[in-house]
Each structure stands twice: as C-alpha cells, then as structure tokens.
Amino acid sequence: MSHPALNDIATMNEFGRQLLSDYRSSLQTFDQAAQAIVERIHQTFRTPQGDSIFALVRIFYLARPAHAPNAWRVSADPTDVLLSLAGSYGDEPAWCHPTQSQQHKTVLLSTQATPMMLEAFRQLGIQPRLGAQGEPAQQIMSADLRRFYVPEALGSPFIPDQKQFVKPYGIRSVVGVGSQFVSGNAYMLISFSKQFIDDQQSLNFTALAPYVATLLAIYEAKEPLWSF
C-alpha cells in the first residue's frame, strides 16, 4: 500500500506548503533547493515499517548548455537544450547527490534523450526546445498537463534499466510533475515508487506542482544558479 498522504489531496497540499515555508529563504542556490525537495519527499513518504516508498527522486533542469553547472559544462551547440541533474536522493548512497550520478548528470536532448524523458515531455506538455535566438519558445509548457505517470514500471518501454534498476529495486510506478519558469527554462521532478500508485493517487501527487515550481523559481531567478 502506498503512503496514506497520496490518498488525501489536503495532506499533499499541506506538505507542499511546508516545503515552501521551510526553504523559500533558507538556501542559496537552485540545486540546493532541488536537493532539499527530493530529500524531503524521499524521507517523508514512508511505509509503516519505516522504508521510503520511493527508491529514487530526482529533479532535472531544462535549459541551454550555458546554464549547466560549471563542473559539468559540455561541448555542445549553444542553441541545443540540456537536462542537468539538479537534485537526487534515493535508497543507495550513490543516488543521494547529483554529483555522484554516473550517467545522468547532463543529458543533451538532441542526441541522448531516453524514451522515459521523451514520454515525460509528452505527458507534461514540455516542448524540449527553446527559441532560436535564446528567447523562450512560445508555450514550451502547457499549463493543463502537469503529470508524468507510468502506473506499471515493470516491462514499460518508457522506464529504462529494467534489469539493473526496475527489477532489483522493485520499482512499481513512476510519477512526476514539471513546469516552465518565467525565463523559459523548465524543471521536471520524477519519483520512482516501490509501491503501486493508482491514477487518483498520481493526480493527488500533482498537488505538489505549484509549491515545487514556486520554490524552484525563487532560486532560478538568483545568481549563482549552482553551488558546484
């Protein structure tokens, strides 16, 4: 059974309000805010036995290559779009900070986008491109499409690493949210659950979207963007 909060949208809203209250002015950079969010989600949603229902929670930042962390700058067409891993927390120590990621620190969308990312963009309404001259593309995000949801991860063509990740860690469902910032850049939060999440519970999870988006937007507008 999934966490009881997923059955109660009021509880999810209260969790979101608490996130915003705790972190809106206490951090310094965008990645610190992303890390605080994913860590709080992982540690809050637990089974009666005390285990997190989420094996892994991540936040990606969708922007030009020039906006990637300094430590991860890649050689790429400056007009391309890059996903940078901004927050990561999970059951394995190596999953508990973006700098420890082995494969997904940066993803160049023109050549490296995975089926999961493309499906997430489709469900969330994100167009993985920006304006040709650097200005935000019109309607990069559709306001009425905010949920990424894969009810059954096992065998899904949209969830990678079936043998190395889905099966050994018992991943059942995947749920996420995302939105665009005033800058035209965007974020995407993806949570991999070890408990089945039904359709209504996944909709309840999207109650977090405005709180997460508001919190991240506060730090997305500041300099420096990254702490690493």
CATH number of the domain at 111, please. 3.30.450.40
Would residue 228 count as lying in a domain? no
Q: Which residues of 4-40 are buried (b: 16+ CB within 10 A; e: fewer)?
A: ebbeebeebeebbeebeeebeeebebbbbbbbbbbbb
Would residue 227 count as lying in a domain? no
- Domains of the chain: total: 1
- Hey, CA dihedral for 79, 67, 138, 209, is it positive or negative? positive
Q: Which residue in this structure is represented by tokens 């993985």?
A: 128
Tokens of 76: 């790429």
The range of the structural domain enclosing residue 138 comes to: 4-220
Would residue 129 count as lying in a domain? yes
pLDDT tens over the chain, length 228 residues: 678 889 999 999 999 999 999 999 999 999 999 999 999 999 999 998 999 999 999 999 999 998 999 888 777 788 888 999 999 999 999 999 999 988 889 998 888 889 999 999 989 988 765 444 444 433 333 334 479 999 999 999 999 899 999 999 999 999 999 988 988 899 999 999 999 999 999 999 999 999 999 999 999 999 999 999
Would residue 226 count as lying in a domain? no
Would residue 225 count as lying in a domain? no
Coil, strand, or helix at residue 57?
A: strand
